[in-house]
Amino acid sequence: MTGHAAPGGPAGPFETERAARHAGYQGSTEHPGSSALLGQLHAACYRSGVELGAYDRRILEWLAGWEPATVAVIAGLITRAGQAPPETPHGA
């Protein structure tokens, strides 16, 4: 992927918990620890080219135990970190 996501888009950046909840990373019925939340974290890592070790996967499982909005923010951070940096204007 290239460029940055639009503010409030599926990968954020998020200004409020409500924005994270509605970002599309989780359905309204997801609950902490669900396999769907773990899948969102794994998908963000995959999209960003992050190679996972055994301990990394264990930590992702732990993170998936948090509220869906928290998982959305973490997944969004991973996704945005994997994107190309914005171009810097000359002379900036």
Mean pLDDT per 10-residue interval, the chain, length 92 residues: 45 87 60 82 94 97 92 92 74 58
For residues 37 and 30, the answer to whether their CB atoms sit within 8 Å is: yes
| pTM as predicted | 0.73
Its sign, for the CA torsion 39, 44, 45, 47, is positive
For residues 20 and 72, the answer to whether their CB atoms sit within 8 Å is: yes
- The structure tokens 């171009």 sit at 87
pLDDT at residue 85 in the model:
74
pLDDT at residue 30 in the model:
61
Q: Both tokens of residue 20?
A: 């994270």
